Amino acid sequence: MRVLVIGSGGREHALVWKLAQSPSVSKIFAAPGNGGTLAEGAENVAVAADDLDGLVALAQREQVDLVVPGPELPLTLGITDRMRAAGIACFGPDAYGARLEGSKAFAKDVMERAKVPTANHAVFSDAAAARQYLREAGCGMVVKADGLAAGKGVVVARTVDAAVAAVDDMLEAHAFGAASERVLLEELLEGEEVSLLCFCDGTRAVPLPSAQDHKAALDGDQGPNTGGMGAYSPAPILPDSQLEALADQTVRPVLRVLAEDGHPFVGVLYAGLMMTANGPRVLEYNTRFGDPECQPLLMRLEGDLAAIMLDCVHGRLDAAKIGYTQQTALGVVLVAEGYPGSYPKGMPINGIAEAEALPSVKVFHSGTARRDGQLVSDGGRVLCVTALGEGLAQAQRAAYAAVDKITMPQSRCRSDIGSKGIRRLARQDG
């Protein structure tokens, strides 16, 4: 099988790494890929993830059998529809299904129809009406741009004034352009967040083990939101024994609604959940693997990923073919100083071989390039240093021991990836 992976981050490196282990895979292309996909033996092709014509032409020219889009943008632009029209299997939802991620208002409509528990909300395109709604409610709320805003379109506003400021920013100052022509005002929920991802074949959903992301830039969940500073699996707040029941509540009803609409959902459906005192609530859907959640999840996956993905495309997903190691996987993201704001590029990276010489360690490249034989940073998130361990504390120690082997000027990472889960385990034991 010849496979094309679309994207250039750590998630895509992990996808290439795992797909390369599939006995049925003979050749992998990455568009555009990064230093890590290259090191895995993939052929990087300089076609951007949003260049649909270029991607279809590449898949046809290279007689690709399976296309795996990593990020959301090609999905919302309709890459699956385009590949399908060209007779090429594509592991991802069509543009209709991808609106679950591309439009928060659409996701809310689907959740309502599917009776999925979520925060109460209202949608506004008029700033005056939104301000009045906030003043009448008299409490803080979460203000969300309707469309894709690279993870920056959500403001958790704890006061009315902060919420009004966010509304003005989005609806009047057009902070996110077309993506913030409509905003959602949402009830502010309290609780711990966790991710539930499922393989989906249009009608069936098979949950992956739970994962927990760390979105805030700084230790203790402080500082601005990022794409994700680290992740681990499983998350103690969502043990394996609860996965099926939660998929019944938050994922399978959505598959039923989309199938009714004539757009059966294929790919990974990712429910971002808040575990509140009143039960789980869906905060958002992603229509793809998360980055960095994908890296620890694929470290744990036992099975032929290419075969699983093809089974999804062909509507014959079989949970019996999918397994996971009982070990815990934990990934720490190394970022360039300044991220998620502006940051320098081109810093030399050394020590990856030494890190990977440690047992059960894999260093995934998020933003790297090779210049004159030297690996250099090429993005805000640069590496995701991932390790397996017996339990969360050991996985955490192993991942940070590997981080210590790596040198890169002007880089940093959070020092507490996994600590929230370790504290929860201690409470459960005590």
Q: Is 147 in the site for ligand GLY (CB under 6 A)?
A: no
Pairing of strands 230-233, 222-225: unpaired
DSSP string, 257-289: HHHHTT--EEEEEEEEEEEETTEEEEEEEESS-
Which residue number, 118 or 295, has a Cβ lying nearer to ligand AMP? 118
Whole-angstrom distance, CA of residue 78 vs CA of residue 227:
23
**Residue 10 binds ligand GLY, judged by CB under 6 A:** no
Cβ count within 10 A of residue 409: 11
Nearer to ligand AMP by Cβ, of 279 and 409: the residue is: 279
Question: CB-wise, 119 or 317, nearer to ligand AMP?
Answer: 119
Q: Which residue has the tokens 């902070």?
A: 175
205's tokens: 């959903």
291/416 with CB nearer ligand GLY = 291
Binding footprint of ligand GLY, residue count (CB under 6 A): 7
Piece of 20-28, 42-50, 284-292, 343-351 that binds ligand GLY (CB under 6 A): 284-292
Q: Which strands sit side by side in the sheet containing 89-90, from one edge to the other?
A: 43-44, 27-32, 2-7, 66-69, 89-90
CB of 407 to ligand AMP, least distance (A): 32
Q: Which of residues 187-246 bind ligand GLY (CB under 6 A)?
A: 213, 227-228
Q: How far is the CB of 183 from ligand AMP (least distance, A)?
A: 12
Among 8, 210, 249, 286, binds ligand GLY (CB under 6 A): 286
Q: Which is nearer to ligand AMP, 89 or 269 (CB)?
A: 269
Q: How many CA atoms lie within 13 A of 244 on its CB side?
A: 2
In angstroms, rounded to a whole number, what is the distance separating the alpha carbons of residues 389 and 395? 4
| Residue 156's binding partner out of ligand AMP, ligand GLY, none, with CB under 5 to 8 Å set by partner kind | ligand AMP
Binding residues for ligand AMP, per CB under 6 A?
A: 119, 142, 144, 154, 156, 186-189, 193, 215, 272, 283-284
Applying CB under 6 A, among 81, 291, 304, 378 the residue interacting with ligand GLY is 291
Using CB under 6 A, pick the residue from 36, 234, 290, 418 that binds ligand GLY. Answer: 290
Task: Please give the biggest Cα pair distance in the chain.
Answer: 61
DSSP class of residue 132?
A: H
- CA atoms of 396 and 398, how far apart (whole Å): 5
130: closest CA among 119, 114, 141? 141
- Binding residues vs ligand GLY (CB under 6 A): 213, 227-228, 286, 290-291, 293
